[in-house]
Structure 1
């Protein structure tokens, strides 16, 4: 085991050095020569300092992403022995299986949270240093505690369902667990706008009545069942700008960050909102759910075989009793983390397709390519986002087309 962990650390160090060299080398954000001086060239709407900060921040965030994921995997492996101790504590405290699960999940989630907290805090301080975050330390801790409690509650429910399904159907639990996950996903998507989001943010009706009427007119044309537009107080957390339409059915909510109201012109805001409404009108939320469910079907099947193989081959080394042992939870989380990382390119490729579709919908609704170009120039400037990204970053982190690609698309309508 000692050799195994030494090898693991050595492999991670080589991987980390290779990533650092890659992200610190040369110009990763170079645009084609023929686009220099055009509306897609960041030098035409951002200062040199802003461009430098945007590229530097992108390097740091990408490096943190590619390092933190395998680091989390290593932490899960390293905690297998600790998971055994937590299981023993839970069994000594309670006889009831439900209470044992609650104690185990609470202890294990708390330990993981403490070990990975430095990464969250580092990124929080980075955003402050680059002038994007206005979040106070008190607000950071408040959000973090809410995340922790929701995570504990959600994990407890999932573990309870998992153990019940595993006991009922040891050889088909992956299929039944997949089927149970479908209504859970729909339930969370339904309650998010009215239950989860208000836990973090203060929502108020949009005060600009003229803009509200224009947005609701767009919503009516998009057949969105909404009679209200909300603005959310994000300026207490960030200087960045955003807007969205989320929820399903009658729970759909149209939301603008107060920062976008302050920094964009009304015609620019309308093109952004038309894009967001495109997701709803073209059923992208449902398509995303269906795509996720299909992908998770494959994922559950692979996880079942990987989990069973791991337990049978190496479980006894750590003292794991079997597949239903609470102490095996880190193994399941490890498999899920690996699969989530490996499937990121497929998930992002799908996301980029529907984001482009939403851009096309926005142009169909407004036909205002010039306003869309200005809106995304502001987004690049205010959010410190490079207009292009390296292929590796776009594959694993690029849920949207690059700003350069989107501006070039909007130019077609501007020329018309």
Structure 2
């Protein structure tokens, strides 16, 4: 569905194309990397380990079921001729061809929201509450879903109108121009999202002056990253996961830390996280993300452009679809895209994961806090399987696993710290 495409766009903003870097190979002969790594990895055991594994492994099936739910919803909208009715309504409201796809999108988005709502409630609220990973009550959570729906009702009509404009003007090559349209929307989202979208879900306040802010400013200054705007946002109202980001472009560039990061971790961990996030900016991952996303979308739209006319020719009369330029075709186009993105999931995960690994290396080099980095990896393993098999990690992980990250940090420690010490981190406190 087109809403799945937009969710993909939002998710991949934190990713990009990988670059390569290597650790120094020198190490201390009396520092055992594997033993130091196990000291951290083995802090997650028993019921907590089982809970983390069950949650993350259950997510493997959610990828499949989410795709099937999306396919089923679009098929129902087609088969019931709801799509044709939405189109007929848009034509009654206006005779302007350029505006009709945008009007069509309004009932289509609402219908998709309502039809998928039971699934969304289960995966987004009840399952998260089952594993203790959500702080909101149902009212607060559902309120944010409604905000997301309103945003969709603003963005999707504009996107669909632009795509159908190029379909009408270039019916043979519309997939090329459509890729350009989506790239433009992505650029606008990068520019405006941190200023206008993110504050709809959380309150952002300038980070208070102090040693931690001074350290972040110094780290950013080392790589000429604008650090005039450093914000703390109240994500603890939604969950207890730690996170931070460097977002925006040009005048909207800002560094943001969630309150969980400041409240649950020590300064070494904060520095490790910020080094990673600054790495995304310095290594140009956002712009590479735009490029790789454009290529991925281009392939998807090319497939859509080849398959959809044949399906319209065969089933169009039954579904009430007149042609590929008819807004009623939207569920068919998005159904094909859903299948495409599902099939491409391992490749997309791999690109993001390698990129995240590059940011990890940069963060270790800039923050020089290998033990802080290892602690953060363990905290993230509260909801990510700590030690998957190699094939499992390749297929399902869009970030390096906790074990991979801990070993990376200990390898860095062996190669860069003079006379590194073996630490017994003990059990991380439960917040």
TM-score relative to the length of structure 2 = 0.83
**Larger helix percent:** 1
The residue number in structure 2 matching 1:13 is none
Separation in 2, partners of 1:304, 1:206: 48
The residue number in structure 1 matching 2:341 is 340
The residue number in structure 2 matching 1:306 is 307
TM-superposed CA distance for 1:41, in Å, is 6.7
TM-superposed CA distance for 1:292, in Å, is 1.1
Q: 1:118 to 1:208 in 2, by over 3 A?
A: farther
TM-superposed CA distance for 1:69, in Å, is 0.8
Which SS does the other structure have where 1:399 is aligned?
Answer: coil
TM-superposed CA distance for 1:182, in Å, is 2.4
1:55-94 counterparts in 2 under 5 A?
55-80=53-78, 81-94=81-94
The residue number in structure 2 matching 1:176 is 177
1:38-53 counterparts in 2 under 5 A?
39-40=37-38, 44-53=42-51
Q: Is 1:373–1:410's contact at 8 Å kept on the other side of the alignment?
A: yes
Separation in 1, partners of 2:149, 2:105: 11
The residue number in structure 1 matching 2:202 is 201
The residue number in structure 2 matching 1:141 is 142
Separation in 2, partners of 1:35, 1:82: 60
Separation in 1, partners of 2:354, 2:59: 24
The residue number in structure 2 matching 1:217 is 218
TM-superposed CA distance for 1:254, in Å, is 0.9
Q: Is 2:33–2:411's contact at 8 Å kept on the other side of the alignment?
A: no
Q: Is 1:235–1:258's contact at 8 Å kept on the other side of the alignment?
A: yes
Deviations 1:259-297 (A, max 9, x none): 111111001110110011000011111111111112222
The residue number in structure 2 matching 1:112 is 112
The residue number in structure 2 matching 1:407 is 406
Deviations 1:290-341 (A, max 9, x none): 1111222222222211222222232223231111112111001111111111
Separation in 2, partners of 1:48, 1:105: 49
Separation in 1, partners of 2:92, 2:230: 53
Between 50-59 and 92-101, report the one with greater CA deviation. 92-101
Structure 2 unaligned blocks of 5 or more: 1-31, 418-431
Q: 1:349 to 1:75 in 2, by over 3 A?
A: same
TM-superposed CA distance for 1:392, in Å, is 6.6
Q: Is 1:206–1:231's contact at 8 Å kept on the other side of the alignment?
A: yes
The residue number in structure 2 matching 1:331 is 332
Separation in 1, partners of 2:38, 2:304: 43
TM-superposed CA distance for 1:135, in Å, is 1.1
Separation in 2, partners of 1:237, 1:396: 28
Deviations 1:126-149 (A, max 9, x none): 212222111122221221111111
Q: Is 2:41–2:378's contact at 8 Å kept on the other side of the alignment?
A: no
Which SS does the other structure have where 1:79 is aligned?
Answer: helix
TM-superposed CA distance for 1:165, in Å, is 1.2
Which SS does the other structure have where 2:381 is aligned?
Answer: helix
TM-superposed CA distance for 1:36, in Å, is 9.1
Q: Is 2:204–2:233's contact at 8 Å kept on the other side of the alignment?
A: yes
Q: 1:41 to 1:267 in 2, by over 3 A?
A: closer
TM-superposed CA distance for 1:157, in Å, is 0.9
TM-score relative to the length of structure 1 = 0.86
Matched residue pairs, number? 381
The residue number in structure 2 matching 1:273 is 274
Q: Is 2:229–2:255's contact at 8 Å kept on the other side of the alignment?
A: yes
Separation in 2, partners of 1:41, 1:122: 36
The residue number in structure 1 matching 2:287 is 286
Q: Is 1:348–1:398's contact at 8 Å kept on the other side of the alignment?
A: yes
Between 167-176 and 392-401, report the one with greater CA deviation. 392-401
Quote the RMSD (CA, aligned, Å).
Answer: 2.2
Separation in 2, partners of 1:224, 1:43: 33
